[in-house]
Structures are given as structure tokens and as C-alpha cells.
Amino acid sequence: MMLYLPRILTSLLYISLASAQSSDQCKINSLETSYEAPVAADGWSYRLVATELSRPRGILFDTEGALIVVDTGVGLVHLEFEDQGSTCLRVRKKTVLLENEDLNHGIAISKDGRTLYASTDDEVYSWSYDPSTVRLNSSSERTLVTNMTNSGHTSRTLLLSDKHPGILVVSRGSQGNDDVEAEDRSTGHSQLRAFNVSALDERSRPLGERFRPYDYLDGDLLGWGLRNSVGVAEHPETGGVYSVENSVDNLRRRGRDIHRDNPAEELNFHGFLNGSSEDQGGNYGYPVCYTIWSTENFPSLGDLETGDQFPADRTRGRSAPSDEECNTEYVPPVLAFQAHTAPLDIKFDGNGTKAYISFHGSWNRDEPVGYEISTVAFKDGRPTSPSNSTNATTTIISNPDLSNCPSDCFRPVGLAWDSEGRLWFSSDSTGEIFVLAQDSSENNDGNNDDDNGGESGGDDDDSAASQFMRPSSWTVVVTLVAIIMGFFLA
């Protein structure tokens, strides 16, 4: 029997390898990135599933399971997939639902899946949509919100509330890096507002064949002093509204350049859409007060710490508040993030225990940062990490060598969950769509109930650097090899 044991073990090894490969390989999809492959954290696998898009930004799934993409410079694109489970998918059919080069980011869909919403830099539109026939009725187009034009930050993110049907939240950014007009609430710059689009017919007067849309200033003010809060989400349990803020570049304080690691990007809380929050409609600081990320060599630090707000140097003739005024008269963020990481989307998991955030990546920093998707742990509708935390995020997918960025790496933008609990994301710089799947052993109904935020991770080459082999497969292989070697050495 001992004579044949090595052969038996070798056969078992071959079978295990074949089993691992067959379970992890995807025969219908051979797409690969043209740059160094992204790295997924332990417990996650991913696959590139769509390429050759123009500049994909916002994404969502319709009720038939198709992915709808705002492809900047093209319009609305419908992607139907052949799905063999986990990350094994390929595009079966690509359809341009609507040609409109002005659509640039925002997208939403009604709960019944029959109405699509999208935005330009100036207006929000709706259309009748039939997901079963893949038909968008262009003649049904209605303008819902208008008067949002400004230069600079032109994304108009859309959030259609699940807790309050018919309420549409629209984010509008500043017209530049340091937008003086954002200090005047009546300009509408750098604000987050909510609109009851279900009541639009009742408030509108027919104008020929058109209806009178909302002016942006008609919306209920959820917050202002928000430089460019591109990502907006509603907590699935509490209904609390959160946004992720892209803060200012080239900042100086007390005459010193502090832009490398300050100011912080932000996670902000805007209360609830029923109005039951004392801070709702408050000023979050921009362009007067900013949030500290790094306290190292920070001019006149005093008692300030990460998460506190501070005034920066202002151009001549523009007065600045004191540190104390910044921290008492403006709404502080609930979390701070590394400066220049550029968060562009936020999506909660099904039970609200994690927020997933896409960090598009820096341009205004010698050493690149960001270029990843990370999670923030939540409990009872609030982040578990304190506001002064510097390690509230945990990376789930990233670029392995940031020195290649931004020109030769993925830059995540839009996030979307499908009905199978997989997380999809767009990369606008590369024209790609990816899908992420969490191992079932790591997944609790698509979520993980850890109460604590962790340090950013996932950059280790041993943490699922392959798109196809998962750690569990390698564990089986290594164990069998060890057994075989033990017999030969005995």
C-alpha cells in the first residue's frame, strides 16, 4: 500500500488542482486589464467584465438585471450579461438607450423600474423605461430640475429615496477650487437639495406640452458649504443621508503650503428626509473652513486634531474666521479621509453595517493616494470609528503600484449592487466595468457585521492578487503538497 501512496496523493493533488481551477476559471470571459492587475483583499474576488466604454460614471441595475451606465460623451448604455455565477460574466448585448453627450454622471431609477432619471450640468430629466423590451421612450422626456449651470464641478449626483418615495436628492458642486460665490446661499453653489418629484404634476402649470420644472433653489436644503459632494447615499435602516466630500486643492495656512496632506476629504451627515435633524440645512464650511487630516507640522496646531475644522489663508480683502468659530459655527464631518483621495460614490450594504466608497485618486499630490474601493464600518446608522480616526477605512480592491497612477491604473467611480449581492464599479479613465464578489465564508447576507473600522489594507501581494485563484483554493493545494513531501522525506 505504501508503494502506491505517493501515486494516490499525486492523483489527489491533480484532482484538487483541477477542481480549484475549474471553480475559479471563467471560460466565457478572458478579458484582462492593459495595466497591472488590481489587487483584491482576502475574501474578495473580482473580474473585468466590460471594456471599450467612453467614460463610464454612474451605474445602476434595472429590474431585469441589466446594468445601465452613464457613459459620458455617449449617453445611457444598457449592458446585458451572460451570468455563470460569482464573477464569471460577459457582456451578451450592448444597447445605447439614449444618445445624449451632455449626460455626465447622475443616474437613478424608480422603485418599479419604469422611470429613469439622469442629469447634465444644468438639468435633471426623467424618461419612461421598459426594462423587459430595453426601450427608453425619448418622447416622454421631462425636465424635473433646472438652473444648475456653473463651471468647475459639473457632476449632478442623483439619489432617489427608498424611505421616502418620490424624493429626489441632487448634489451640486462649486464652480472652481475656491468658489467665493458658494458663501452666498442664494447662488445654489456647493449645495445638497431634495425635491418631491412625485408632486411635480400637482405644482406644475402646463406650458404648451411642457411642465414647469423645479428651479434648483426650490429644493429643500439639506446642506451647503459642500465643495463637491459627488457621492450621496441613504442608510437602508435609519434613512440618514450621507455624502462624501472632495475638498480643496493648493491650500495654505499661516503662509505655509499644507496641501500635501490637508485638508481632509469628508464623510458628512445630512439628517433625514423627514426633516428630523437639527443640523439639516447647515453650513459645512466651504470655502471658509476646512477639515484637518494630518496634524504633522500643521501651522498653529494648538488643540486641533484630525476631524476638526480650521480656516485657511484667504485672498486679500476676504476675512477669515478663527479656529474656534470654524469648530462652533459650522457642521463638522463625521469622518475625515486622506487628503486628495477623491471619493466619488458611496453605497451601503443591505443591512447598513458597511458603507462602500470609491476613491477616484489624487492629481494634486507628488505621491499618489486613493485609487481604490474601501469600506467604513457602521452600527445603528452611524460610523463606528470616532471623528478623529485616521484608520476608519478598509481597502477591498486597489492598484498595486500607485506610482503608475493616474495614467496607468483603474480609477473607480460609480458603485452598484446587483440582486446576487455582488458589487460592481466603473472606471472612467480606462472605460471599464468590474464586478466584485465576496466569498460566502466571509459574507453574512452580503454583509459583515464587524463593529470596528480597520486600517487600510489589501495591498499585500498574497491577498488574492490573482483574478481567478482564491485563498481557499491555494490552501488545499499547499496542504496536499506538504503531505506528499512529508512522505518522500520520511
Q: Is 70 exceeded by the pLDDT of residue 61?
A: yes
Share of the chain above pLDDT 90, in %: 78
Q: Is 80 exceeded by the pLDDT of residue 481?
A: no
Distance CA 334, CA 184 (A): 24
Degrees to nearest 5, angle at CA 389 with 280 and 262? 80
Q: What is the pLDDT of residues 310-362, one digit of tens each?
A: 998 986 667 889 999 999 999 999 999 999 999 999 999 999 999 999 999 99
Q: Is 90 exceeded by the pLDDT of residue 308?
A: yes
Residue 326 confidence (pLDDT): 98
Residue 319 confidence (pLDDT): 83
Q: What is the pLDDT of residues 173-227, one digit of tens each?
A: 999 999 999 999 999 999 999 999 998 865 555 555 457 899 999 999 999 999 9
User: Is there a cis peptide before residue 263, judged by omega within 30 degrees of 0?
Assistant: yes
Distance CA 345, CA 368 (A): 19
Query: In the chain, what's the furthest Cα-to-Cα distance?
Result: 92
Higher-confidence residue of 485 and 123: namely 123
pLDDT bucket at 441, cuts 50 / 70 / 90: low
Share of the chain above pLDDT 70, in %: 82
Question: Which residues does 325 contact at the CB level (< 8 Å), separation at least 6?
Answer: 289, 311
Residue 162 confidence (pLDDT): 97
Global pTM reads 0.86
pLDDT bucket at 157, cuts 50 / 70 / 90: very high
HSE (side-chain half, CA atoms, 13 Å) at 123: 11
Q: Is 90 exceeded by the pLDDT of residue 20?
A: no
Distance CA 264, CA 377 (A): 19
Residue 48 confidence (pLDDT): 99
Q: What are phi and psi of 216, to 5 degrees?
A: -55, -35
Q: What are phi and psi of 17, to 5 degrees?
A: -60, -45
Hunting for cell 497591472 — which residue is that? 36
Domains detected in the chain: 26-467 (2.120.10.30)
pLDDT bucket at 137, cuts 50 / 70 / 90: very high
Residue 479 confidence (pLDDT): 44
Q: Is 50 exceeded by the pLDDT of residue 6?
A: no
